[in-house]
């Protein structure tokens, strides 16, 4: 909010430089900077509705500088004619409108506002309209009380005698055209100001075209009210009308300012438009409960802040902020909350905050807690870190992609966002691969042809209840990349968790049906399906993998040491032509089955077309193996391979 | 007579050794004098012809000469080997600026790097890690954090709603409630995680990361909040950086404070990064509001605590001088390789 320093001086003496003042306010919770030398730009926190006016800011200035506020009494000149013979107000919903006040000004001449008024409004970014509307805005900015001026002649009369204002709820779908020309369909949760026949304003939000003050207006009904903050907030949201007025009502205006502002406004309108204020005031108000009295225990203050604040200091601060000290002893204070702070000062803790912020957070000594932990916490992050280390070692870069994705790239039943920003980002991802493909696509476009990436993150599985799954997904593509590159990455990772695993074929529409595999319960990997590849316009082969993080963590075994061998190993090379029904896995399984207790390792060391060469290592832990024993086993293995898998051993 | 012969051999050996030019020549000299059929060996063989009474003196003289020659040969050998080594070293040259053979290695995302770093610091300060779901209920994300429905402060968080009535958490703060529901104080946790805001602003990302913190015990004070967060900021930005605590408002803490650190770019003089204020806002924090304790059944008269939250991307941007938040999610490898 923009506050002209000149205007501020109407309410408080300022004897310090603007910069200094801004810094004091900032350190008391009103983030303030100086603009153009003579304006304060004040950032008002959501709980400080009371600061949304020059007067409100001036109260904070008093609190931080210790200056006295200037108070002035409003003298209002009234003519004989009584308001009661001209206007009647019927408040039909006192819950939504706890206080409604009005005055009537007759014989007003609508014209331009005087220069000083125009300047003040325009310096705050409000366009000057005429001497009546400008006054309502002036009171709003200056005192924080929104007002509305109706052209009284446009209000329907009660059989020609009285003007009638009815404060009621709208009926569902009741139409209304606001001052800005907007057409609205209202609901019965919304409070409106109406005459006998129609709505003339959305209460506290915006007036209507139908009763707008124009050049020909002569009689003004000036409204000043206290509307239910929650109701204004709802209405403003639902009608999408955020106005200066609603911004103040929704944070509660000062109950005691409603009447004072009305007098100020009526008097000023009368002065600027040569009008006559009718005698009397309409004030339909709920009984206000007794003033709010709160206790403040000095012990509590010290317990929370960690420093002692002397009672005299607390008293001084509270007084400066407008609180009344009702009672004081050496244990506690009893204070009365000023009317303009009723909505945000409700508890002892609120008083503690007030004292601490005005006293200054810098006065609170820095200490270190003496703290004894009771638990060890979650170690997921450590485990994930471990995985990230392994993958970095395999040459993969970690990426982070959005969890809100295009429905075209997700499961049909993916969780939908009801208020997405764009339709391309409107469902929760059901896999990470599409995010990775987007990254690959971006990098290829930028002439990068060696791409190896992965992401660890959540996917969101639809259902009731839905499920958040931690997974790890990767994608690689580079010149001559192959199935074996992606499988190698997966193996590097998996062998840190398990001793062995089996790969079976997989049915997954992201993967090529033959050049891909699945590891039961843990995940899958392989060549991206040509259809998917085509959709993304990839010209190169992309290889992807996805692993379930939780399953991987569960599979993790403690590592057991096995004694280092003391006797030499004996190696035998085994070359063969394989048939189409014998896979590497089958060959290895068979070799192991027939290899006997001394077979230590089977390693595939050469592969060319259908020719395979394996190196078999034999070792006896307790003695040096003889050739005879090894040869016998080796022969058994060769025979078994020929018999069971139909391979042709090359001897 | 034989002793004259020894003297003669010695002189001859000296002259041979003085003029020797290579390691091979040296070897032939050794063979010539000390070899199986060498001159000195031959004389030794003739020892038996010497008068027994002269033998000790003769033997001694012979050994002395032999040792002298051996020593000289050894000296020469060391000298030649040194020369050869020096020669070989100077012969073998290479362009040491040619690139090394690197084993391809990937990297962690800069956001992860920052999260890991921050978490490590908080662990040193006694905090544990807790995690929570991205999809939350209105209760955890708002109500239990003292943010009632239609309360104007809800505007602080532009929310994505799911069609099933749940929402995407707008901050990591709901995990505070989840922690406090499950256990009784004392505890101290930090919670890193993804959060979502429906912000149209291009300087914001609708998905980003936060780190939340919570410490509750008897007698935790605002002074402790200041102590822990100052220690943390000094660990991240350097011990010489000034830190200030400024009153602020969050529905779930009271008193609340924004924590600013002296501008990392201009050092407090005022620049574009700090909007001429000299300070950069890093953390939101405050003492846990008694109402929040009320929701989780912790006695606010007995226990007190503080909570804080910060944006990970913001820290990463400040630390590395990154000026566009979108770079984090574009994942251009030329960007990722820089961290």
Over residues A183-221, the pLDDT tens digits come to 999 999 999 999 988 999 999 999 999 999 999 999 999
- Sorting pLDDT into bands at 50, 70 and 90, what band is B2? low
Which pLDDT belongs to residue B273? Answer: 83
A262-321 pLDDT, tens digit per residue, is: 999 999 999 999 999 999 999 999 988 788 999 999 999 999 999 999 999 999 999 999
Q: Which residue has the tokens 């408002």?
A: B249
Query: Residue A386 has what pLDDT?
Result: 93
pLDDT number for residue B237: 93
What is the per-residue pLDDT for A498? 87
Distance of alpha carbon A490 from alpha carbon A504, whole angstroms: 14
Q: What does the pLDDT average to over B61-80?
A: 90
Q: Is there a domain that residue B100 lies in?
A: no
Q: Cα B318 to chain center, whole Å?
A: 19
Q: Which residues contact A261 (CB under 8 A, 6 or more apart)?
A: A139, A143, A145, A147, A224
The class (CATH top level) of A570-650 is alpha beta
Separation CA A370–CA A365 (nearest Å): 15
Does position A159 have pLDDT exceeding 70, yes or no? no
Are B177 and B43 contained in the same domain?
no
Based on the domain organization, do B166 and B17 belong to the same domain? no
Residues B86 and B121 both lie in one domain: no
CB atoms within 10 A of CB B102: 6
How far, in Å, CA of A570 to CA of A296, rounded? Answer: 87
* Two tokens, residue B56: 């000790």
Taking CB atoms within 8 Å and a gap of at least 24, the contacts of B262-266 are: B262/B237, B264/B237, B264/B318, B264/B319, B265/B321
Contact between A339 and A256 under an 8 Å Cβ cutoff? The reply is yes
CA distance B227 to B292: 23
What string of DSSP letters covers A80-113?
A: EEEGGGTEEEEES-TTT-SEEEEEEEESPPP-PP
Above 70 in pLDDT, residue A258? yes
pLDDT at residue number A160: 66
Last residue of a domain, which of B59, B91, B123? B91
Distance, CA of A489 to CA of B104 (rounded, Å) = 13
Examine residue B96 and state whether it is found in any structural domain, yes or no. no
pLDDT digits (tens, 9 = 90+) for A399-422: 999 999 999 989 899 999 999 999
Asked whether A581 and A540 are in contact (CB, 8 A), the reply is no
In whole angstroms, give the CA distance from residue A176 to residue A337: 39
What mean pLDDT comes out for the span A148-156? Answer: 92
State residue B34's pLDDT score.
Answer: 87
Q: In this structure, are B233 and B190 located in the same domain? A: yes
The Cα B52–Cα A58 span in angstroms is 129
Is the Cα torsion angle B186, B191, B195, B201 positive or negative in sign? positive
In sequence order, what are the beta bridge partners of B192?
A: B211
Residue B97 lies in a domain: no
Res A579: pLDDT = 83
Domain identity same for B39 and B184: no
Give the pLDDT score at A267: 96
Most A CBs within 10 Å: which of B114, B121, B152, as the mutation test of the A interface?
A: B152
Lowest mean pLDDT among A59-73, A120-134, A331-345, B288-302: A59-73
Last residue of a domain, one of B91, B126, B144: B91
**Do B132 and B180 fall within a single domain?**
yes
Q: What is the mean pLDDT of residues A130-138?
A: 96
Mean pLDDT for A124-133 is 94
Residue B194 lies in a domain: yes
Average pLDDT over residues A454-483: 96
Q: Which residues of A touch B126 (CB under 8 A)?
A: 369, 371, 373
The domain limits of chain A are: 2-65, 78-285, 293-360, 380-555, 570-650
Same domain, B169 and B285: yes
Per-residue confidence at A110, pLDDT binned at 50, 70, 90? Answer: very high
Same domain for B137 and B274: yes
Which helix (H) or strand (E) is A158 found in, with range? strand A157-158
- Model confidence pLDDT, tens digit, residues A562-595: 889 999 999 999 999 998 778 899 999 999 999 9
Which of residues 293 through 352 in chain A touch B, CB cutoff 8 A? Answer: 303-307, 347, 349-350, 352
Contact A23/B at CB under 8 A: no
The residue from B61, B91, B121 where one domain ends is: B91
Peptide bond connecting A313 to the previous residue in cis, omega within 30 degrees of 0: no
pTM value surpassing 0.80: yes
Residue B200's pLDDT is 64
What is the maximum alpha-carbon separation in chain B? Answer: 129
Look up the CATH number of domain A2-65.
3.30.56.10
Contacts of B247 in chain A (CB under 8 A): 27-29, 353, 356-357, 361
Using the predicted structure, report yes or no on whether residue A111 has a pLDDT greater than 90.
Answer: yes
Distance, in Å, from the CA atom of A499 to the CA atom of A521, rounded to the nearest integer, reads 15
Condensed to tens digits (0 to 9), the pLDDT of residues B12-40 reads 888 888 888 888 999 999 999 888 888 88
Task: Count chain A–chain B contacts defined by CB atoms under 8 A.
Answer: 243
- The class level of CATH for A293-360 reads alpha beta
A93 to chain B, minimum CA–CA distance in Å?
20
Distance of CA B279 to the CA centre of its chain: 28
Tell whether the model's pLDDT for residue B155 goes beyond 80.
no
C-alpha–C-alpha distance, residues B287 and B152, integer Å = 21
Model confidence at A131: pLDDT above 80: yes
Q: Grade residue A558 by pLDDT with cuts at 50, 70 and 90.
A: confident
Helix axes A311-320, A298-305, angle to 10 degrees: 90
Task: Specify the CATH number for the domain of residue B245.
Answer: 3.30.930.10
Any domain includes B208: yes
Q: Which helix (H) or strand (E) holds A174?
A: none
A353 touches chain B (CB under 8 A): yes
User: Which residues of A define the annotated binding site for Mg(2+)?
Assistant: 344, 350, 353-354
User: What pLDDT is stored for residue B171 in this prediction?
Assistant: 95
The conformation of residue A642, written as its DSSP 8-state character, comes to: I
Which of A522-531, A558-567, B224-233 comes out lowest in average pLDDT?
A558-567
Q: Would you say residue B151 has pLDDT above 90?
A: no
Residues of A in contact with B187 (CB under 8 A): 373-375
Identify the band that residue B152 occupies on the pLDDT scale cut at 50, 70 and 90: low
Q: Under CATH, which architecture does the A380-555 domain have?
A: 2-Layer Sandwich (3.30)
Q: Are residues B29 and B133 in the same domain?
A: no
**Which pLDDT score, from 0 to 100, does residue A375 have?**
75
User: Which chain A residues are Cβ-neighbours of B290 within 8 angstroms?
Assistant: 347, 349
Identify the three-state secondary structure at position A448: coil
Rounded to the nearest 10 degrees, what angle do helices A311-320 and A348-359 cross at?
90
Class of domain A78-285: alpha beta
Is there a contact between A361 and B277 if contact means CB atoms under 8 Å apart?
no
Query: What distance in Å separates residue B94's CA from the closest CA in chain A?
Result: 29
Q: Is the pLDDT of residue A373 over 80?
A: no
Residues B86 and B124 in one domain: no
Q: Which of B198, B227, B245 sits opposite A361 (nearest CB)?
A: B245
Question: Is residue B331 a part of any domain in this protein?
Answer: yes
Phi and psi at A544, nearest 5°, equal: -130, 160
Over residues A15-40, mean pLDDT: 94
Identify whether B163 is part of a domain. yes
Mean pLDDT rounded to a whole number for chain A: 93
Q: According to the 3-state scheme, what is the secondary structure of A526-576?
A: EEECHHHHHHCCCCCCCEEEEEEHHHHHHHCCCCCCCCCCCCCCEEEEEEE
Secondary structure of chain B as H, E, C letters = CHHHHHHHHHHHHHHHHHHCCCHHHHHHHHHHHHCCCCHHHHHHHHHHHCCCCCHHHHHHHHHHHHHHHHHHHHHHHHHHHHHHHHHHHHHCCCCCCCCCCCCCCCCCCHHHHHHHHHHHHHHHCCCEECCCCCEECHHHHCHHHCCCCCCHHHHHCCCCEECCCCEECCCCCHHHHHHHHHCCCCEEEEEEEEEECCCCCCCCCCEEEEEEEEEEECCCCHHHHHHHHHHHHHHHHCCCCCEEEEEEEECCEEEEEEEEEECCCCCCCCCCCCCCCCEEEEEEEEEECHHHHHHCCCCCCCCEEEEEEEEHHHHHHHHHCCCCCCHHHHCCHHHHCCC
**Could you tell me if B117 and B174 lie in one domain?**
yes
Per-residue confidence band for A499, with pLDDT thresholds at 50, 70 and 90: confident
The domain total for chain B is: 2
Residues B329 and B275 in one domain: yes
The answer to whether the A2-65 and A293-360 domains have the same CATH topology is yes
Q: Which domain holds residue B8?
A: 2-91
Question: Nearest to residue B210, comparing CAs of B197, B220, B219?
Answer: B197
Q: If pLDDT is split at 50, 70 and 90, which confidence band does B1 have?
A: low
């Amino acid at each position: 909010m923009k506050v002209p320093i000149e205007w501020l001086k109407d309410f408080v003496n300022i004897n310090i430089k603007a910069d200094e003042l801004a810094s004091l306010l900032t350190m008391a919770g009103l983030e303030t900077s100086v603009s153009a030398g003579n304006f304060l730009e004040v950032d008002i926190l959501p709980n400080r509705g009371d600061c949304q006016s020059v007067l409100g800011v001036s109260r904070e200035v008093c609190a931080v500088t210790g200056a006295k506020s200037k108070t002035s009494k409003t003298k209002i000149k009234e003519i004989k004619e009584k308001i009661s013979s001209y206007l009647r107000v019927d408040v039909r919903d006192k819950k939504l409108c706890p206080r409604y006040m009005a005055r009537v000004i007759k014989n007003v001449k609508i014209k331009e506002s005087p220069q000083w008024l125009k300047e003040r409004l325009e310096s705050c970014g409000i366009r000057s309209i005429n001497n009546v509307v400008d006054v309502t805005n002036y009171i709003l900015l200056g005192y924080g009380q929104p007002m509305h001026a109706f052209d009284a002649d446009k209000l329907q009369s009660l059989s020609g005698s009285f003007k009638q204002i009815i404060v009621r709820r709208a009926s569902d779908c009741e139409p209304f055209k606001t001052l800005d020309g907007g057409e609205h369909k209202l609901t019965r949760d919304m409070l409106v100001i109406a005459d006998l026949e129609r709505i003339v304003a959305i209460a506290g939000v915006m007036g209507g075209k139908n009763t707008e003050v124009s050049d020909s207006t002569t009689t003004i009904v000036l409204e000043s009210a206290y509307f239910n903050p929650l109701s204004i907030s709802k209405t403003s949201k639902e009608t999408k009308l955020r106005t200066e007025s609603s911004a103040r009502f929704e944070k509660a205006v000062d109950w005691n300012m409603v009447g004072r502002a009305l007098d100020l406004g009526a008097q000023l309108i009368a002065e600027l438009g040569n009008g006559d204020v009718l005698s009397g005031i309409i004030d339909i108000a709920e009984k206000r409960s007794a003033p709010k009295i709160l206790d403040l225990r000095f012990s509590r203050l010290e317990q929370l802040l960690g420093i002692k604040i002397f009672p005299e200091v607390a008293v001084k601060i509270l007084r400066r902020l407008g609180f009344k000290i009702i009672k004081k002893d050496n244990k506690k204070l009893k204070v009365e909350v000023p009317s303009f702070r009723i909505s945000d000062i409700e508890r002892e803790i609120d008083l503690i905050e007030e004292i601490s912020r005005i006293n200054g957070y810098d006065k609170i000594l820095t200490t270190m807690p003496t703290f004894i932990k009771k638990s060890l916490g979650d170690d997921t992050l450590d485990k994930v870190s471990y995985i990230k280390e392994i993958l970095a070692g395999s040459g993969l870069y970690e990426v982070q992609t959005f969890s809100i994705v295009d429905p075209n790239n997700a499961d049909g039943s993916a969780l939908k966002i009801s208020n997405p920003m764009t339709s391309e980002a409107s469902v929760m991802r059901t896999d990470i691969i599409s995010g990775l493909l987007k990254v690959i696509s971006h990098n290829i476009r930028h002439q990068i042809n060696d791409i190896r990436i992965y992401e660890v993150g959540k996917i969101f599985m639809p259902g009731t209840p839905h499920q958040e799954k931690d997974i790890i997904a990767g994608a690689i593509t580079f010149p001559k990349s192959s199935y074996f590159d992606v499988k190698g990455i997966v193996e590097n990772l998996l062998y840190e968790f398990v001793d062995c695993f089996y790969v079976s074929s997989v049915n997954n529409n992201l993967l090529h049906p033959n050049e891909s595999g699945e590891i039961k319960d843990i995940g899958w990997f392989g060549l991206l399906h040509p259809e998917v590849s085509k959709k993304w316009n990839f010209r190169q082969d992309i290889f992807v993998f996805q692993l379930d993080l939780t399953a991987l963590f569960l599979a993790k075994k403690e590592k057991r040491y096995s004694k280092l061998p003391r006797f030499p190993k004996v190696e035998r090379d085994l070359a063969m032509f394989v048939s189409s029904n014998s896979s590497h896995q089958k060959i290895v399984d068979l070799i192991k089955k027939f290899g006997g207790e001394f077979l230590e390792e089977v390693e595939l060391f050469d592969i060319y077309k259908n020719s395979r060469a394996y190196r078999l290592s034999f070792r006896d832990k307790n003695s040096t193996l003889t050739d005879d024993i090894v040869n016998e086993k080796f022969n058994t293995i060769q025979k078994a391979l020929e018999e069971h898998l139909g391979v042709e051993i090359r001897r | 007579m034989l002793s004259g012969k020894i003297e003669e051999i010695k002189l001859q050996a000296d002259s041979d050794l003085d003029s020797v030019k290579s390691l091979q020549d040296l070897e032939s000299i050794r063979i010539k004098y000390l070899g199986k059929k060498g001159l000195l060996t031959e004389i030794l063989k003739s020892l038996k012809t010497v008068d027994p009474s002269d033998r000790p003196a003769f033997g001694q003289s012979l050994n002395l000469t032999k040792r002298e020659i051996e020593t000289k040969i050894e000296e020469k050998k060391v000298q030649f080997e040194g020369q050869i080594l020096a020669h070989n070293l100077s012969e073998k040259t290479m362009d040491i600026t040619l690139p090394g053979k690197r084993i391809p290695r990937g990297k962690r995302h800069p956001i992860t790097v920052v999260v890991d770093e921050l978490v490590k610091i908080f662990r040193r300060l006694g905090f544990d890690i807790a995690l929570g779901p991205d999809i939350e209920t209105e209760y955890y994300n708002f109500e239990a954090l003292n943010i009632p429905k239609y309360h104007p402060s809800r505007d602080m968080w532009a929310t994505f709603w799911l069609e099933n009535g749940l929402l995407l958490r707008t901050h990591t703060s709901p995990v505070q409630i989840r922690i406090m529901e499950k256990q009784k104080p004392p505890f101290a946790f930090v919670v890193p995680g993804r959060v979502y805001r429906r912000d149209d602003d291009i300087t914001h990302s609708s998905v980003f990361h936060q780190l939340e913190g919570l410490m509750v015990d008897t007698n935790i004070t605002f002074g402790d909040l200041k102590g822990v967060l100052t220690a943390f900021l000094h660990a991240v930005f350097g011990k010489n950086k000034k830190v200030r605590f400024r009153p602020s408002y969050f529905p779930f803490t009271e008193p609340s404070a924004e924590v600013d650190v002296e501008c990392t770019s201009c050092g407090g003089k005022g620049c574009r990064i700090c909007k001429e204020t000299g300070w950069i806002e890093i953390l939101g924090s405050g003492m846990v509001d008694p109402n929040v304790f009320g929701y989780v059944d912790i006695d606010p008269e007995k226990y007190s605590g503080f909570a804080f939250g910060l944006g990970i991307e913001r820290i990463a941007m400040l630390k590395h001088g990154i000026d566009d938040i979108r770079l984090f999610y574009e994942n251009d490898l030329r960007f990722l390789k820089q961290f």
